[in-house]
Amino acid sequence: MPAEGAWSAQSMQAMTANMQGLKQAAESGSFAIKQSGAEAYIKAIEEAEMEINGLNNTIYLLQQETKLGTSPDAQAMSRYNSESANGGGGTTGIIPAINQLKSALADAKAALRKAVENYREVDDAAANSLKRH
């Protein structure tokens, strides 16, 4: 059964996809934002990065083999735990999802900085146009 909540693999994949869309929009110039608006988003991203980095001990524990015994049921449960953490058996795995999200958060910060540049360029172009008229 998939994990529910803010840090499920599915929710992290959705956040990753949204941040990739943000990056593409900023790079294409179709997304622009004022510096003051971007600062709030960047702060939220940095807080999420800190929270994710705080999961490092938990990630380490998830990567450890579970010692449930040698019975077939114990081995099946150990395999299930490993696949849930690392992926396999039709699941992405929480650890790969976390790593994808870390990368997407960094991309989102870069996209916001690019969107601020886009805003400045549009603002400067508008100001120059007004000066000419």
Q: Which tens digits make up the pLDDT trace of 25-55?
A: 999 999 999 999 999 999 999 999 999 998 8
Is the predicted pLDDT of residue 9 greater than 90, yes or no? no
Is the predicted pLDDT of residue 126 greater than 80, yes or no? no
Asked whether 22 and 108 are in contact (CB, 8 A), the reply is yes
Average pLDDT, the chain: 85
Interatomic CA distance for residues 102 and 110, integer angstroms? 13
User: Is 126 or 80 the better-scoring residue by pLDDT?
Assistant: 80
| DSSP β-bridge partners for residue 91 | 88
How many residues are given for the chain? 133
Asked whether 52 and 45 are in contact (CB, 8 A), the reply is no
Is the predicted pLDDT of residue 128 greater than 90, yes or no? no
Interatomic CA distance for residues 7 and 93, integer angstroms? 12
Interatomic CA distance for residues 19 and 42, integer angstroms? 12
66 DSSP assignment? P
